[in-house]
Amino acid sequence: MNVLKDKVNEQETLIIEMGEKFDFSKVEAFRSAYQDLDSDVKHITVDLAKTEYMDSSALGMLLNMQKVLSQRSLTFSIENSRPPVERILKISRFDKKFIIR
């Protein structure tokens, strides 16, 4: 399991750090990382610094997370993506839907 949560208290930000692969095998861990949040969390960062592989189910997980978080008036960003993953995000036009840094 390579889905890690870390909370940055002063910024009310939860960081979800993905491992080397972001694929279907991470569905449950990824979902649980953002579903049961402390009430003071206002923003979630999905950190893809270690991610070298991402499949279509990962894109679906991000879309689902966006839907859930928008219902709670929370924001999120995708950060630190490596070139292969960044290419997938751009081809999928996620750079138009999400904050990608």
Which 3-state string (H, E, C) describes the chain?
Answer: CCCEEEEEHHHCEEEEECCCEECHHHHHHHHHHHHCCCCCCCEEEEECCCCCEECHHHHHHHHHHHHHHHHCCCEEEEECCCHHHHHHHHHCCHHHHCEEC
- pLDDT in tens for each of the 101 residues of the chain? 355 556 555 668 888 999 999 999 999 999 999 998 888 888 999 999 999 999 999 999 999 999 999 999 999 999 999 999 999 999 999 999 999 99
pLDDT given at position 1? 36
pLDDT given at position 46? 95
pLDDT given at position 13? 87
pLDDT given at position 62? 97
Confidence (pTM)? 0.87
Fold of 4-100: Transcription Regulator spoIIAA (3.30.750)
- The domain spans of the chain are 4-100
